[in-house]
Amino acid sequence: MRRRLILGAAYLLLVVVAGLAVPFGLTLSRRLTSDLGGRVERQAFAVAAAVEDRLEHGDAASLQSLVAPFAKRIGGRVLLTDRSGVLLADSLQAPGPDAPSYRSRPEIARALAGAPNWEVRTSRSLGYDLLVSAVPVGSAGRILGAVRISFPMAELRAAVRRSWWFLGAVGAVALAAGLALAAWLAGWATSALATAASVARRIAGGDLRARVPEPGTPEVRGLATDMNAVADRVVDMVRGEREFAANASHQLRTPLSALRLSLEEALAGTDPRREVEHALVQADRLNAVVGSLLALGRARERGATAVDLAGVAEELVASLPPNGVRVEVSGSGVVLADPDRVRQVVGNLLENAGRFARARVLVEVTRDRDGVALMVDDDGPGISEADRARVFDRFYRGRLPGGPGSGLGLPLARELAAADGGTVVALESPLGGARFEVVYPAVPGPVTRDGTTP
């Protein structure tokens, strides 16, 4: 990624430098050429003004001595023709008796037509570029001749080349500085990602204490915070799984040991029936533990539909075996949840309340704008405030560690409710015992039992 960022910056810098330097260089070259053309043309007008009177009076003999000083001062070649284009004077070489005609030259023809002009062209005889300017020599509206000045472009070309070299050097310095800055920025921008990737590899390798440093820009801090939160979650999950495995092995070992002892006693004793019955009790207990463990593993599966909490509670209460405890169900409320999960949550809470209740269990369903709550109250001994948070720990059985149950009913209820967005808390009941309250999120608008909105 760092290389791609640097290459992208290099491409952008090249485009910017070329986009600025090339037009500037071309404009500078045209400007220098235009300035030189204007200067040479002004010099040609100066020569024309100096020779005007002599041409008008036919004094051609003195023209040769006049153009030489001009040529020396200008640094170019000066020649003068009459109105027919015949050469009258030439600073390079005086014309002989058979003076040539320059009327066929385009610049001379335009000047004799009254149009001053200049242009840059390549001289075939000399082999280099010349700037040629020709202006008419006139008096009283008559064209008397033409002055032509040819100036070598070598000096101008050298100045243009120096300008291009200067622009190239400035562009190279700007490109180098830009690339250095881009490399630093790319390294700074990707260092956080490299650090995060390194920390992720360490966590994947088993170093669960590795964390991403959080200084830097808000984006980098946000990434570091999120990754550290993920790492903390992974640590919590690993720690929970380790504790779960240790507790599960301990809880499974107890009924397995009791089952083995019962079977051994059945083999060695004279009355195996009693030992077999005890073994069956341990097998049922073992089956309950395994069933709860499987339910925990499937806690996040399935989907949601409309479930009537009061209807589920009434159905479960009707299936309870008679044990002298009166169970009452009141209220109504429909939630969007998995029916099997809701049935198991309510069943676990009813089973827990029936185990400790003396004579009465009250199930009440209420609805408000925050959610739908199902409260299970019993008139049993209750739960001390110190134990209310621990009752949701896996395999914790409160003040009856050796009593019935696997210690997984309440933790399972909480995890199953959480899978549908609900919460379970332990409180003090108005009946004097314990209250377990499960709250599911409110469904927007009224919901019927078939999951539709009227």
- Looking from the CA of 64 toward its CB, the CA atoms found within 13 Å total 10
**Residue 401 pLDDT exceeds 50:** no
Architecture of the domain spanning 302-441? 2-Layer Sandwich (3.30)
Q: Which of 133, 130, 127 is nearest to 110 (CA)?
A: 133
**Average pLDDT for residues 123-136, to the nearest whole number?**
82
pLDDT of residue 453: 44
DSSP β-bridge partners for residue 437:
375, 425
**Residue 432 pLDDT exceeds 60:** yes
pLDDT digits (tens, 9 = 90+) for 342-354: 888 888 888 888 8
pLDDT of residue 130: 85
More confident residue, 158 or 392: 158
| CATH tag, 2-158 | 3.30.450.20
Q: Which of 419, 416, 409 is nearest to 289 (CA)?
A: 409
Which residues of the chain are in CATH 3.30.565.10 domains?
302-441
Token digits of residue 20: 């600025």
Residue 383 pLDDT class (50, 70, 90 cuts): confident
Beta-strand pair 326-331/360-368: parallel
pLDDT of residue 362: 92
Which residues of the chain are in CATH 1.10.287.130 domains?
218-295
Beta carbons within 10 angstroms of residue 2's beta carbon: 17
Which residues of the chain are in CATH 3.30.450.20 domains?
2-158
Residue 293 buriedness (CB in 10 A; 0-12 / 13-18 / 19+): middle
**Average pLDDT for residues 232-236, to the nearest whole number?**
78
Distance CA 27, CA 108 (A): 29
Contacts of 236 (CB under 8 A, 6+ apart): none
Helix/strand/coil (H, E, C) string of the chain? Answer: CHHHHHHHHHHHHHHHHHHHHHHHHHHHHHHHHHHHHHHHHHHHHHHHHHHHHHHHCCCCCCHHHHHHHHHHHHCCEEEEEECCCEEEEECCCCCCCCCCECCCCHHHHHHHCCCCEEEEEECCCCCCEEEEEEEEEEECCEEEEEEEEEEECHHHHHHHHHHHHHHHHHHHHHHHHHHHHHHHHHHHHHHHHHHHHHHHHHHHCCCCCCCCCCCCCHHHHHHHHHHHHHHHHHHHHHHHHHHHHHHHHHHHHHHHHHHHHHHHHHHHCCCHHHHHHHHHHHHHHHHHHHHHHHHHHCCCCCCCEEEEHHHHHHHHHHHCCCCCCEEEEEECCEEEECHHHHHHHHHHHHHHHHHHCCCEEEEEEEEECCEEEEEEEECCCCCCCCCCCHHHCCCCCCCCCCCCCCCCHHHHHHHHHHHCCCEEEEEECCCCCEEEEEEEECCCCCCCCCCCCC
Which contacts (CB < 8 Å, 24+ apart) does range 216-221 have?
216/192, 220/192
Contact 87, 81 (CB under 8 A): yes
Backbone angles phi, psi at 243, to 5 degrees: -65, -40
Contact 336, 306 (CB under 8 A): yes
pLDDT digits (tens, 9 = 90+) for 195-220: 777 878 887 787 777 887 776 667 67
Distance CA 438, CA 363 (A): 11
Distance CA 97, CA 87 (A): 11
Residue 254 pLDDT class (50, 70, 90 cuts): low
DSSP β-bridge partners for residue 122:
129
pLDDT of residue 370: 76
Contacts of 150 (CB under 8 A, 6+ apart): 76, 77, 123, 130, 131, 132
- Mean residue pLDDT across the chain: 78
**Residue 415 pLDDT exceeds 50:** yes
pLDDT digits (tens, 9 = 90+) for 59-108: 777 888 888 888 888 888 898 998 888 998 888 888 878 888 989 889 99
Backbone angles phi, psi at 426, to 5 degrees: -105, 130
What is 218-295's CATH topology? Answer: Helix Hairpins (1.10.287)
C-alpha pair distances (Å), 265 with each of 227, 255, 276, 282: 56, 15, 9, 14
